[in-house]
């Protein structure tokens, strides 16, 4: 679909809106069902849920311990779970150990706490190269780690999905759980970025 006959493509949002309108006009989709699905992924599934988990772990040492012992049960305490989190393992990044998640076979991913997987996560190059040369791939993604930091690549599968508990950034010690949530990104919970101080 082009925008003005010049061969330029319409922005994705406009193309999506046009497609939804066409499907609705033909009676193939119910706009209310589409709205419910969007709301589900905007509010009930996604990186915001994972950020709440991380912020709780940063501010509650007992919750952090439970999260690292049994990720599935711990996220369930906050009302998260379901499909693709039946066996969630959470690993912690420290100043000397860095975990990063990949799925070498497909794109297994804990949607309930991280939302939809980004396109790069599903890319065959990311999946293959992260295992072989994680330090290089992380650097290409903007995360440079010192040679003294040990990198462990965690391979998600249909049986086990991984999530990273990122390091809490310095200077946030006086921040509340609610203040910490917006700092946490999906990429930090996959391990391809660090959480930045405000």
* Catalytic machinery residues: 103, 106-108
Tokens coding 119 = 């396109």
CA distance 171 to 181: 15
The answer to the question of whether 87 is labelled as a binding residue is: no
Long-range contacts of 184-188 (CB under 8 A, 24+ apart): 184/47, 184/50, 184/51, 184/54, 184/55, 185/47, 185/51, 186/47, 186/50, 186/114, 186/115, 186/118, 187/118, 187/141, 188/54, 188/164
CA distance 135 to 41: 32
Q: Which of 65, 116, 68, 58 is nearest to 91 (CA)?
A: 68
Annotated binding site for Fe(3+): which residue ranges? 103, 106-108
Annotated binding site: which residue ranges? 103, 106-108
């Amino acid at each position: 679909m082009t925008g003005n006959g010049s061969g330029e493509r319409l922005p994705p949002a406009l193309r999506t809106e046009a497609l939804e309108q066409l499907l609705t006009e033909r009676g193939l989709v119910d706009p209310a069902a589409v709205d419910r699905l969007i709301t589900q992924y905007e509010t009930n599934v996604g990186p915001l849920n994972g950020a709440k988990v991380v912020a709780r772990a940063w501010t509650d040492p007992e919750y952090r311990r439970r999260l690292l012992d049994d990720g599935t049960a711990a996220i369930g305490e906050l009302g998260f779970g379901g499909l693709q989190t039946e066996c969630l393992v959470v690993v912690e990044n420290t100043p000397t150990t860095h975990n990063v998640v990949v799925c070498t076979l497909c794109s297994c991913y804990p949607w309930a706490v991280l939302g939809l997987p980004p396109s790069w996560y599903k890319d065959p190059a990311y999946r293959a190269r992260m295992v072989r040369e994680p330090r290089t791939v992380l650097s290409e993604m903007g995360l440079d780690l010192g040679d003294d930091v040990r990198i462990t690549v965690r391979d998600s599968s249909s049986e086990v999905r991984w999530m990273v508990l990122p390091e809490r950034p310095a200077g946030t010690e006086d921040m509340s759980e609610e203040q910490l949530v917006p700092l946490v990104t999906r990429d930090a919970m996959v391990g391809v970025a660090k959480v930045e101080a405000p």
